[in-house]
Amino acid sequence: MTTTTILILILIGLCAGLLSGLIGVGGGIIMVPMFVLFLGLTQYNAQGMSLAVMLPPVTFLAVYNYHKAGAVDWKLALIASAVFFIGGFLGSKIALRIDQLILKKMFGVLMLFIALKMIFFSK
């Protein structure tokens, strides 16, 4: 691993972490495209890396701050987390069976749809 790669990883991690704490995004929306664009990873590798980064308690301190402010409903979070756990397993199985080019386009269309909705249809 080169020094440049390490510096890129540091910048990606810092950017994703800051945006995660600031506006609740970081994994797929930030890290996946950055892994592909700046490190040349495949779509599969970028998605796997993004999930691997989030595996440790990477958001623990950010969640703690929101908890202290009374902004976390733990009942809702635990229910969503349990289903997310199952969905993540099933989604990864499906993703690994889809051609990477199609997967990359699906990812881009989803991000574009969400961006347009948030820009033009948010209240």
Could you state, in order of their start, the residue ranges of all structural domains in the chain?
3-121
When pLDDT is cut at 50, 70 and 90, the band that residue 55 belongs to is confident
Its pTM stands at 0.73
Cα(113)–Cα(119) distance, integer angstroms: 10
Q: Which residues contact 96 (CB under 8 A, 6 or more apart)?
A: 44
Res 68: pLDDT? 95
pLDDT per residue as tens digits for the range 28-49:
788 999 999 999 999 899 988 8
Q: Which two tokens stand for residue 110?
A: 């989803």
Res 10: pLDDT? 93
Position 37, amino acid: L
Cα(13)–Cα(9) distance, integer angstroms: 6
Q: Hey, is 101 helix, strand or coil?
A: helix
**Per-chain mean pLDDT for the chain:** 88
Q: Which residues contact 80 (CB under 8 A, 6 or more apart)?
A: none
pLDDT for residue 50 is more than 70: yes
Q: Which residues contact 62 (CB under 8 A, 6 or more apart)?
A: 17, 20, 21
Which residue is it, tokens 């623990």?
Answer: 60
